[in-house]
């Protein structure tokens, strides 16, 4: 039994953000019914859509949709919209990342559903929020979370170009944000008996992710210089490349405290007498020169050799892992980041996947269940709602379900 056992969720989501939120809830034991149009969530065919690949599997879809039940309903038809509302009425939570104007058109907007069912917890995940001139603008995480929020600008070195962050990063962070809000609303419902709207957006979440520096801009009108490793404010909080080409991060956050031990570990105690580097302020002023010297020092040994040195001297640092490094990292393996999952085709093989980043002591472990085939659970869900065979057949004939 998961911690959300007994909670029913209806999700109408596409691509990553909405399905990711539903997927976390499914991992935690909720029954999640995924409403899909007859064409299905386009994420099912991601690789074909992006590059024309013939690959039929989509591991990101599997990751965010495992353990769900798929029901195909054409909500663009009045009968399909009414059926969707009937399914949602059986749920504790409805969550969606579709745009507000579309939801209103098909009768699934939060104002419509909450008026009919005050106990419903309605989760809205949008690109730009539910108000304002751009509330219905397409909001992929590259646009809303990364670009418009200031995340990309903040990560751009002076004179550089905006970086491309990993796909789905903003979607997943926002999904976790929505999950937290939904759980808060479910707790409130226990006390009051009333559900409510829970709304977040890629834009709002992205803005909050740069809050450490943005809050200073708002309160005292100060913004630290954009990051550039060649001129880092604190050269002991910077990335360096080892002799084998692998990168590492020093994390000497307390510059005065870490300065002497780090120079001892690097066999660079002569720098302690260099007048350019006598204080945190002077090291900041002469950061370019110090970083150039440290670059030369780190180029003398491989990253593994530096790791041994750092262990001996208690230096604070972290490797800049490639994916190849990551999957072999013993610490990553120890914290249960990777699990296995049953495959959609039902063969005996299990595929390797990721676990959500929160653990519960009651989790029995083991393989996650498979993601659903499109429409695999339509009949079972409708029968449980009381529809008889004739009603289901009539809806199939009319193209309302499949």
DSSP letter for 145, please: I
Residues 7-21, mean pLDDT to the nearest whole number: 97
Q: Please write the tens of the pLDDT for every residue from 239-275.
A: 999 999 999 999 998 888 999 999 999 999 999 999 9
CA distance 11 to 30: 12
Return the top range by mean pLDDT from 43-52, 100-109, 250-259. 100-109
32 and 94 inside one domain: yes
Domain enclosing residue 42, as ranges: 8-209+336-398
Give the containing element (helix H, strand E) for 31: strand 31-36
Task: Kindly tell me if the per-residue pLDDT of 287 is higher than 70.
Answer: yes
Residues 203-209 have a mean pLDDT of 97
Together in a domain, 201 and 288: no
105 and 165 co-located in one domain: yes
The least confident of 42-51, 63-72, 243-252 is 42-51
Please state, in angstroms and rounded to a whole number, the distance separating the CA atoms of residues 84 and 105: 13
Considering the domain architecture, whether residues 302 and 154 belong to the same structural domain is answered as no
Residues 30 and 169 in one domain: yes
Whether residues 340 and 315 fall in one domain: no
User: Do 144 and 202 share a domain, yes or no?
Assistant: yes
| Whether residue 78 is found in the same domain as residue 139 | yes
**The domain boundary residue, chosen from 319, 345, 376:** 319
pLDDT of 348 over the 70 cut: no
In this predicted structure, what is the pLDDT of residue 53? Answer: 72
Per-position b or e across 259-296, b if 16+ CB within 10 A of its CB: beebbebbeeeebeebeebeebeebbebbeebbebbee
Total of domains in the chain: 2
Residue 191 shares a structural domain with residue 257: no
| pTM for this prediction | 0.93
Say whether both 312 and 362 belong to one domain.
Answer: no
Per-residue pLDDT band at 13 (split at 50, 70, 90): very high
């Amino acid at each position: 039994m998961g911690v959300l056992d007994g909670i029913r969720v209806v999700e109408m989501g596409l691509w990553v953000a909405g399905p990711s939120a539903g997927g976390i809830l499914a991992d935690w034991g909720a029954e999640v019914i995924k409403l899909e149009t007859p064409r299905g969530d386009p994420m099912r065919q991601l690789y074909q859509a992006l590059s024309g690949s013939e690959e039929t599997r989509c591991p990101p879809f599997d990751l965010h949709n495992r353990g769900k039940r798929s029901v195909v309903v054409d909500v663009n038809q009045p009968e399909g919209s009414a059926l969707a509302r009937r399914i949602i009425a059986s749920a504790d939570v409805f969550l969606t990342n579709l745009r507000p104007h579309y939801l209103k058109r098909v009768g699934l907007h939060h104002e419509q559903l909450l008026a009919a069912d005050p106990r419903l917890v309605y989760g809205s995940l949008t690109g730009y929020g539910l108000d304002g001139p751009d509330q219905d603008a397409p909001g992929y995480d590259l646009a809303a979370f990364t670009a418009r929020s200031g995340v990309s600008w903040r990560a751009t070195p002076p004179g550089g170009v905006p970086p491309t962050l990993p796909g789905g990063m903003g979607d997943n962070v926002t999904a976790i944000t929505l999950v937290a809000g939904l759980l808060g609303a479910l707790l409130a419902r226990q006390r009051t008996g009333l559900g409510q709207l829970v709304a977040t957006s890629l834009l709002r979440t992205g803005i909050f992710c740069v809050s450490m520096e943005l809050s200073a801009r708002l309160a005292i009108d100060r913004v630290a210089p954009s990051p550039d490793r060649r001129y880092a404010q604190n050269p002991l909080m910077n990335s360096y490349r080892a002799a084998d080409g692998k990168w590492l991060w020093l994390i000497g956050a307390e510059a005065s405290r870490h300065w002497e031990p780090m120079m001892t570990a690097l066999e660079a105690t002569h720098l302690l007498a260099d007048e350019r580097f006598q204080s945190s302020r002077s090291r900041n002023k002469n950061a370019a020169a110090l970083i150039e010297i440290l670059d030369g020092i780190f180029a003398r040994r491989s990253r593994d050799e530096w790791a041994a040195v750092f262990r001996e001297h208690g230096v604070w640092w972290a490797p800049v892992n490639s994916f190849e490094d990551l999957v072999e990292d013993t610490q990553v393996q120890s914290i249960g980041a990777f699990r296995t999952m049953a495959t959609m085709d039902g063969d005996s093989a299990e595929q390797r996947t990721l676990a959500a980043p929160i653990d519960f002591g009651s989790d029995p472990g083991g393989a996650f269940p498979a993601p659903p085939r499109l429409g695999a659970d339509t009949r079972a869900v409708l029968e449980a709602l009381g529809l008889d065979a004739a009603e289901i057949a009539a809806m199939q004939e009319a193209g309302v379900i499949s």
